[in-house]
Structure 1
Amino acid sequence: MNNSVDIDAAAERAQSSINAYHPDDPANDTDPLPSPTPTSSRNVPEGFDEPLAPPPPGAPGGLPDDRTPVSEAPFTPESAQGAGQVVQRYHALIGEGKYKQAWLLWHDGGAASRQSAADFADTFAAYSEYHANIGAPGRINSGAGQRYVTVPVQIYARLKQDHRPVYQIGTVTLRRAGDVDGASATQKSWRIQQIMLKPVRRR
């Protein structure tokens, strides 16, 4: 009896609001929310879920192996560490199914995600669980009165459709207004400008 499942087709059906991710297609270089593609081909006995096992730091598909000690000094919300905290909160909200709150952490009231709140929720409703490891934020860059910082991120999740794992690696770019006259507290808060992810295939 053939129990095989067309994984890509199932994921595409679950993610009909966005295009499937093709890492070699330049048209997807700015796609903030790649479709979930199962990235493991391990054989697991029926009735058992394959354990989620993201690659460790320094390994292919893992976060950078940054051995620099993390400062324990207090940090402000406007700092790079504050941006990292936003990324951590964003993924925690997705994991908890609080999609509207996560969507609002995108710049311009969610508009930077290029999805409506409903489509955003549909995107992540395809997962039975969703987790992220967050790397050390980079340095803050400035330009045209704005501040930008990039944070490494590693995604490990599981699709509802067939319980297969999904692994992705990439970066989250956040943006906020600089310390300029007239900027509101909301404009000075870090918000997500772009998320760039690519699949990590585990064997």
Structure 2
Amino acid sequence: MKRILLLATAALGACSNQPAATNQANATTDQAAPANVADPAAPVPIPAPAPVANVTMPAPAPAPAPTPPAAKPDREVVSEGPIDSKSAQGAAQVVQTYFALVEAKKFAQAKALWGSSASLAPNLASYREYHAEVYKPGDTEGAAGSIYVTVPVKAYGVTGKGEKFEEPQVVTLRRVNDVDGSTAEQRRWHITRIDTPPSPH
């Protein structure tokens, strides 16, 4: 009878020790859990955007200035290319030759370009400098077997007193039309008249 009581006591003791061991295991498991566990209900912080670098944009290139229109001369200068000597341009070339001779002070040769009207040629020997800019001639006109043409000119230079001058002039030229019996000399352009130049004194 005493033996049975001891066995019963031992069994009760074993049963009473099992919950204690379970509690100890649970306590050990709680201690092994990570300390910093995020709360799933807490809001997740959004990282701030990285600062943008302060970039200086280059200034726009200035617009190109408009090209000014080319200045046009008051008159069209006579052509320098090869031309028909009997045309109006041929007459203008005679005027160019005349003033080139005057500029070189070759007055006798210049006077020869007047032909039969040489007595009307102005005396330009007193000028220190005498130049001329020859412009495009006008249209030819015919009268009594002759052809006439006018050539505008701008004369400029220095008078005998040292004064500068500039004056527009018109040179009139004549040639005989291509008729039977006319000579080659008659069919060339000759100066017949020049507007009165400024006085050299």
TM bin, normalised by shorter chain, reads 0.5 to 0.7
Q: Distance in 2 between matches of 1:78 and 1:178?
A: 9
Supply the AA of the counterpart residue of 1:88. Answer: Q
Q: Which has the higher contact order (CA 8 A, sep 6+)?
A: 1
2:89 is the alignment partner of 1:86? no
Supply the RMSD in Å over aligned alpha carbons. Answer: 2.4
Q: Deviations over 1:116-144 (max 9, x none)?
A: xxxx5xx3121111100001011111110
TM-aligned CA deviation for residue 57 of structure 1: 3.9
After the TM superposition, which segments of 4 or more aligned residues of structure 1 sit over 2 Å from their partners?
69-72
Equivalent position amino acid for 1:101 in 2:
Q
Cα distance in 1 for partners of 2:115, 2:148 equals 12
| Structure 1 residues 119-198: aligned runs within 5 Å | 123-161=123-161, 163-197=162-196
Larger radius of gyration: 2
Q: Unaligned stretches of 5+ in structure 1?
A: 1-55, 59-64
1:104 corresponds in structure 2 to: 112
Q: Would the aligned equivalents of 1:127 and 1:159 in 2 still touch at CA under 8 Å? A: yes
1:37-92, CA deviations, whole angstroms, 9 ceiling, x for partnerless residues?
xxxxxxxxxxxxxxxxxxx943xxxxxx349x9595x4211111110000000001
Q: Per-residue deviation at 1:104? A: 1.0
Q: Counterparts of 1:24-103 in structure 2 under 5 Å? A: 57-58=73-74, 65-66=75-76, 74-103=82-111
The 1:197/1:169 distance shift into structure 2, 3 A limit, reads farther
Q: Deviations over 1:145-200 (max 9, x none)?
A: 00001000000010133x1112110210100000000100110010001112476x
Residue identity matched to 1:154 = K
Report the AA paired with residue 177 of structure 1: V
Q: Describe the SS at the equivalent of 1:86.
A: helix
1:107 positional shift: 3.1
Q: Distance in 2 between matches of 1:71 and 1:96?
A: 20
Could you say which structure has the higher helix fraction? 2
Distance 1:159 1:178 in 2: 38
Give the distance between the partners of 1:131 and 1:179, measured in 2 at CA. Answer: 33
Question: Is the contact between residue 126 and residue 160 of structure 2 (CA under 8 Å) also seen in structure 1?
Answer: yes
SS at match of 1:156: strand
Aligned partners of 1:93, 1:137: CA distance in 2, in Å?
20
Percent of pairs with identical residues: 40
List gaps (5 residues or longer) in structure 2.
1-71
Q: Please report the TM-score for the alignment, with normalisation by the length of structure 1.
A: 0.57
In the TM superposition, what whole-angstrom CA distance separates every residue of 1:7-62 from its partner, at most 9, and x where no partner exists? xxxxxxxxxxxxxxxxxxxxxxxxxxxxxxxxxxxxxxxxxxxxxxxxx943xxxx
TM-score (norm 2): 0.57
CA distance in 2, matches of 1:198, 1:99: 15
The one-letter code matched in structure 1 to 2:149 is V
Counterpart-to-counterpart distance in 2, 1:71 and 1:95: 18
